[in-house]
Structure formats: structure tokens, C-alpha cells
A = this chain, B = another copy of it.
């Protein structure tokens, strides 16, 4: 159960109630720097050595061979394949709707401005290893990358001790348009995609979740001109429950977040203490049945319930918290939509669990945590492209706008900026255009 219950907290305490546990990333930087240096110096040799050291695996070929990929599907059940295909179809449908058209505006006669979305040429996707294969993240990153039009989609994931990447990951990667797969995990995978080696090409942007080493290595990539999707922290869920919530469902949703890890953040905001009590009873009941109940229990220790009867106050708190996932447990969730300022992805109604969005509803599950939804959004098709602007000016256009540019440039003391216009105007006036 959630024991940290805050009833009608004062507004000045919202910031404190929203604070996440602080981590100090500085100590990791020395380790990460050493790994980058090793990869920069020894290339593929370093990657093999580090895989031996950290993954306890002797890799002969870093790149996954075509026949390994082609054979992967044999070991994936038809039921799972069909579920993944269904999820892919939903994710594709929603992300296709995100594709942007070229903007083309005639500002004045002879002056046009345009904005065109152009895919990042080569992107990197990191998929963590571990006991469970995170094939859902392959869907969430490779599908928008493909839709955006990225030419090369590189995927790195750590091999098991036998030197293999999980078959479901391989099968899903091929299904979603990944072009190159490498048996690489941890900071060395990120360093390889950042620096490039004989085998692994350098990418322009790196996406995907990972442990603290992977996260630190992604930040470090910026020193080498490689971007990342967003800053990362432990996964979070905030549920707002009003009088029409279903306590059993809310409890199940909170537990689905709590099972992620002991550092998961679970926040319940309700408009009455009695809903907190009802949900807590359900949490304890459902917890018994969970294989990962020890993890969930520990996560609940750090969790909070906040009771705020006024809707305005509740949403002031929620926006201050800025949750990654935000469930509105209500029969009429629509009436709250316009109050949401800061959130990653929002789940509307009593039949909309977070796990729907984690897997198959169509939205992306790579979302800003740790309050970053105040300034970042989740991964979408735009994350894999850039909006390049264009301006086209002809003789009429520069004759019309020239004086404006000259006046402004001269007032910023940039005479050469003014000259670039003057030299053209002079020619045109001499020609009597």
C-alpha cells in the first residue's frame, strides 16, 4: 500500500512533493570517459574486449549476420508475432498522422519562406538486455524512424553469454526496418555509435533506454556532436482518480508501474481520502499474486498519495509534478484535458491502462521522466527528422525588403550585412528594374 498520504497539502509544498530522488551522475563520468577513450583508440578490438569484460561473452562478429536475422522468426511463437504485428499496425497509424507537410508561404511578392521535414540520415537505437527482451521498444523507435525516412537505422543490444541477441528483438527489428544490428551493450555500444569503428558506423542521434551507464554515455555523446532523444530517469505514473474511478483498476495500474523497478515513481492524486483507502486495499490484495511483488513493494515505499478536493489545486499539483505517464481514472476524463500543461502521455478513462500505451495503442512509450515533460515531449516522428527552412527571394522581393534589412543591420553595427543587400539593390536600380 501507499503509506505516504498527503491530505490537502498547501500549494507552497507542491514543488517539494514533486521532487524526485536526486542522483549524482558525476562519479560515472570517469568510467564513461575511459570507455570512450578505449573505443576511440582500439575500435572493434575494444568493443570485443569490453563485451568480454561486461557481458561475459566472446563475440566473433559484432554485426549480426543476415542468416541469424532470417532464422530468428522460427523461434518466435505465432501468437506473439501476431500481437507484435497488431501493435505495429496501431503505432504506424498514429505515427503516420504525425508526418508533417512542407510549409510554403508567400510572405510578400518575390519572397517565399518554406519549411521542409528531412529525415536524419543515420540514427542509433539502443535496446537493453537482461531477463526480458524489450521488443516493444524496438517497435517504438524503429517504426517512427522508418516512417520519417531515416536511411540507416542501427540497433545495438547486448548479447547473452552464448553470443546471441534475443530472437524476438531480431525478428521485430527486421519487421520494423532496422538496417544494421550489432551485438553490443552498455556504454561501449553508445561509444561505438558515437565515434564509429571499422564495423559500427557513426550515427547522428541515439535513442533508447538503458541503465545509468548507458544514460551517462548518451549524455557524453554530445561532446562528440551526437544528439540523444532526451534525458532519462526512472519510469513514472501519476493517476488522478475522481469519484467515478474504479479502485481495482487504479490499483492494477499503479502496480503495473511499480513492478518496473524499485526506483519507479508511483503517485496517486485523488479528490477524497476514501478513494485512496479503497485503492490501497486493492493494491495489497493484487500485490500477493505478482511474480515481481518484491520489486513493486519497494517501489511503493517511495510512492505518494495526494488528496486535493479542488480540481484546480489537483491539476496545479499534477502540472508541477509533470508526470511521464498520466492516467485520468474517471468516467468523464475529457473534462480535464484542457487543464493538462505538463505530461508525457495521457490515458483517458477507466478502460485505458498504461500498459495499452506501453505496447499497442499507437502512442509512443519513449517519454520524458523526472519532470522533463515541462520542456520535452515523447519520441515522435519529428524526433527522427529536422525542419529545414528555406527562403527564396527574387529581384522584386529584395527591392521591397532591402531597406528594412539595411536599417536593421546598420543599427546592429553590422555593415557587411547591410552591404550584401546594398550591392544587389545598386545593381537593380542601375538596371532600372
Chain A residues with CB under 8 Å of chain B are 79-80, 83-84, 86-87, 90, 93-94, 97-98, 100, 103, 105, 107-108, 111, 113, 115-116, 118, 120-121, 131-136, 168, 204-205, 222, 225-227, 231, 248-249, 252-253, 255-256, 258-260, 286, 289-292, 296, 319, 333, 337, 340-364, 370-378, 380, 382, 386-395, 397-398, 401, 403-405, 407-409, 411-421, 423-424
Contacts and interface: CB of A to CB of B under 8 A. Distances in A.
B340 A391 contact: no
Contacts of A168: 411
A337 B136 CA distance: 37
A84 B411 CA distance: 11
11 contacts: A87-B404, A90-B107, A97-B105, A259-B414, A259-B415, A286-B419, A346-B390, A349-B393, A355-B414, A355-B421, A359-B404
A427 B68 CA distance: 43
A107 B358 contact: no
B356 A398 contact: yes
Given A113-B361, A249-B424, A423-B252, A388 B344 contact: yes
Given A340-B118, A361-B113, A356 B405 contact: yes
Contacts of A423: 248-249, 252, 286
Contacts of A350: 424
A226 B372 CA distance: 8
A10 B301 CA distance: 62
Q: Is the interface of A mostly helix, strand, loop or mixed?
A: mixed
A412 to B, nearest CB: 5
Contacts of A408: 80, 83-84, 87, 135-136, 359-360
B115 A90 contact: no
A364 B393 contact: no
A270 B405 CA distance: 27
Copies in the complex: 2
Given A296-B416, A351-B394, A115 B362 contact: no
B404 A111 contact: no
Nearest to A287: B416
A296 B133 CA distance: 56
Given A407-B80, A411-B80, A387 B393 contact: no
Contact of A98 (B103, B395, B424): B103
Most B CB within 10 A of own CB, among A395, A409, A418:
A409
Contacts of A361: 107, 111, 113, 391, 393, 401
Contact of A377 (B340, B386, B417): B386
Nearest to A133: B412
A204 B375 contact: yes
B374 A412 contact: no
Contacts of A253: 420
Contacts of A352: 391-393, 397-398
Given A292-B416, A401-B360, A413-B132, A83 B424 contact: no
Most B CB within 10 A of own CB, among A86, A231, A407:
A407
A154 to B, nearest CB: 14
A292 B421 CA distance: 17
Contacts of A131: 413
B395 A351 contact: yes
A409 B345 contact: no
Contacts of A359: 404-405, 408-409, 417
A42 B328 CA distance: 41
Contacts of A111: 90, 361-362
A415 B290 contact: yes
